[in-house]
């Protein structure tokens, strides 16, 4: 727990990862991150990334990915933003 000028600040998150190797250098990767809202449990963030990485040569490669970022932001008061 960290102190903040508006009071205590509670931090935490959960992360998960999955990786499937096609060859030594080519692979598929799935990342996910969940960040809960501790003051209001219904407010949370969810970030995911799916990507395929493949080598083009011994010095260069290509990565094709898709990122989804979701933030469940309910109505936030001006006082809460000011802190």
Among 1-5, 6-10, 12-16, which is the least confidently predicted range? 1-5
**54 within a domain of the structure (yes/no):** yes
- 57: its two tokens: 């040569």
pLDDT per residue over 38-71, tens digit each? 777 677 889 999 999 999 998 999 999 999 998 8
Specify the residue for token string 């490669």: 61
Structural domain contains residue 6: no
Q: Give the total number of structural domains in the chain.
A: 1
Residue span of the structural domain in which 59 resides: 13-82
5 is a domain residue: no
71 within a domain of the structure (yes/no): yes
Per-position DSSP letters for 23-64, written without gaps between them: SSS-EEEEEEEEEE-SSSTT-EEEEEEEEEEEESSSS-EEEE
When comparing pLDDT for 83 and 21, which is higher?
Answer: 21
Domain membership of residue 2 (yes or no) is no
User: Does 26 map to a domain?
Assistant: yes
């Amino acid at each position: 727990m960290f102190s903040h000028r508006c009071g205590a600040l509670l931090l935490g998150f959960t992360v998960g990862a999955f990786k499937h190797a096609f060859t030594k250098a080519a692979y598929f990767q799935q990342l996910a991150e969940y960040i809960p809202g501790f003051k209001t449990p219904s407010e949370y963030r969810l970030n995911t990334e799916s990507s395929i990485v493949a080598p083009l040569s011994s010095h260069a490669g290509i990565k094709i990915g898709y990122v989804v970022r979701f933030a469940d932001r309910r109505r936030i008061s001006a006082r809460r933003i000011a802190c």
